Structure 1
Amino acid sequence: MLEQMQLASTFKVWRERAKAYAERILALPNDSFEKTLAVAFWLCLVCAVLVAFAAVSLKPLQQSNQAADMKRNILEVVGMWGEDVDVDKAFENFEIQVIDLRTGEVAQGVDPNAYDMRKAAKDPKLSEPLPREKDVASIKRRPKYATVYFLKGEDGGLKALVLPVWGYGLWSTMYGFLALEPDCNTVIGINFYDQKETPGLGGEVVNPNWRALWKGKKVYAESGAPVLRLVKGSVSPSQAGAEFLVDGLAGATLTSNGVSNLIRFWLGEDGYKPFLDKLCAR
């Protein structure tokens, strides 16, 4: 009781002092330096409080929107997205697993619904630095674990496999998804949901017409090496090795090289290949 009385008394004193200070400041001329400084300070303080409140209160909505957008991109890369599609319902056809990239086995004790692969790549505890000779995608660090998405058919069998991929282009790290057929070799589609390449040039990685060129392409040569890549100009269906080649992006050589390099890395021994070899027993 005594503590409450002391607290109330202290609050009353500070309230009176604040009121007196406000009255003194308001009584100053408008061109007074002290008044200008005080008004600017309190205006900044109020704005900071409002921004902080908005950020905290809107965070759950932002996270929900981010999750929905990620699901939409996964549905899109396998050809299941449309304006009338119920994203959450359609996404129920996917099984999510977290794999250990070092062994290709399912990671134990990692919650697929809570694990964030992109954040893990920046966490020294959940990732490892790549030596220069292995860092062909220029990502610097590789997460120890990766999230993979299994699209199941009506019979429960595997219909498609979606793999997160990323690598550096000309101006930015391009983040996307690559979808493969159950043979772990034939491409269903590719998309990039986060990139800052030059609009009209490297930014064409999001162009549906260019992305459609990937469907049916093959990733691995008979040797087991990932050889799928972009080439300068157009690919003729009759040319040798056309199944491993995709039209390059006109005027965007470095972005095209970046896409080729991220495929080479993520589908190679330091990426998903150990997992894919086990899954498809190649």
Structure 2
Amino acid sequence: MSNAVLARLRAVFALPNDDPRKTLAVAVALCLACSVVVSATAVTLRPLQERNAALELKREVVKVAGLDDPGVSLSQAFEQIEPRLVDLETGELLADADASTYSYRDAAQDPDQSKALAQDPAGIRRRPDRMPVYLVRNDGALATIVLPVYGQGLWSTMHGLLALAPDGRTVKGLTFYEQRETAGLGSEVASPKWLGQWAGKTVIGPDGKPVIEVVKGSVDPKAPNAERKVDGLSGATLTSNGVENLMDFWLGEQGYGGFLARLGELGR
């Protein structure tokens, strides 16, 4: 800072306290100081926030895969899971990619790692070229496939995990671990009661296309194709539609469709 600038600052702060120029200068100085503190705090805390987010994701993957056990640590439980990256264009698992350090959220913001969507039922605008998948094996045989899914609800982008049986068609579990939908209405998308009805549902038809429906009201278990339907969220039609739309997208050709069609290559 030059001597001339310092001299001007001293002159301003030497003014009487009731002088508007001094009041403005003090306000600007306080704003700048607060901005520096906030920025420094954000930079300092970011690595910790990223570690916490990674741990929370691991916890959710373990839970939806049915591997959570009070007597087993998170790290031990996650050792039973094989994180991989899948090329969504080909449906192939990538042998030379590290899924543990990959962020599909960052990739979606990078034009070199994603593509703009002409057809975008999930409301995500850009789709990463690669997505992580989590494989669980039992004595070498594929037991569970966990797929990250996300899409637009009423107020927020809902991030979840869908666990499928080895057939790639039947749901074993579902969780939405990040959402900001209307409290008491759309936020029920994360409630254990609503999520519990997904187990055993069929999400992919014999032709390999998504078939799951989130219906208005309750599903009649005796109705035709009841195994393909789940109850809608009461008072939250747009959130319910968002769930159905993101399922259609991620289980379809633009999402994991190609990968699910190749499950036989994984040794099930």
What TM-score results when the alignment is normalised by the length of structure 1?
Answer: 0.85
Counterpart residue number, 1:48: 35
Percent of pairs identical after alignment? 50
Counterpart residue number, 2:132: 147
In the TM superposition, what is the alpha-carbon distance from 1:109 to its structure 2 partner? 4.2
Structure 1 position 231 matched with structure 2 position 235? no
Correspondent of 1:257 among 234, 241, 261: 241
Q: Secondary structure at the match of 1:159?
A: strand
Counterpart residue number, 1:247: 231
What TM-score results when the alignment is normalised by the length of structure 2?
Answer: 0.89
- Stretches (4+) displaced over 6 A: none
Distance in 2 between the 1:142 and 1:44 partners?
39
Structure 1 position 192 matched with structure 2 position 176? yes
Counterpart residue number, 1:177: 161
Distance in 1 between the 2:14 and 2:140 partners?
77
Distance 1:83 1:27, change over 3 A: farther
Q: 1:139 is aligned with what amino acid?
A: I
Q: 1:130 is aligned with what amino acid?
A: L
Q: Secondary structure at the match of 1:70?
A: helix
Distance 1:59 1:169, change over 3 A: closer
Superimposed CA distance per residue, residues 135-182 of structure 1 (whole angstroms, 9 cap, x where no aligned partner) = 2222222211111011233x2432211101112222322211100112
Correspondent of 1:214 among 168, 178, 198: 198
Distance in 1 between the 2:236 and 2:148 partners?
23
In the TM superposition, what is the alpha-carbon distance from 1:65 to its structure 2 partner? 0.8
Within 5 Å, give how 1:1-282 maps onto structure 2.
Answer: 18=6, 24-81=11-68, 86-107=73-94, 109-132=96-119, 135-153=120-138, 155-280=139-264
Whose radius of gyration is greater, 1 or 2? Answer: 1
Q: 2:198 is aligned with what amino acid?
A: W
Distance 1:58 1:84, change over 3 A: farther
Q: 2:194 is aligned with what amino acid?
A: W
Please, which runs of 5 or more residues in structure 1 have no aligned partner?
1-10
Q: Secondary structure at the match of 2:218?
A: coil
Distance 1:68 1:28, change over 3 A: same
Distance 1:168 1:22, change over 3 A: closer
Does the 8 Å contact 1:229/1:260 carry over to 2?
yes
In the TM superposition, what is the alpha-carbon distance from 1:110 to its structure 2 partner? 3.1
Does the 8 Å contact 1:235/1:245 carry over to 2?
yes
Distance in 2 between the 1:233 and 1:273 partners?
29
Does the 8 Å contact 1:174/1:194 carry over to 2?
yes
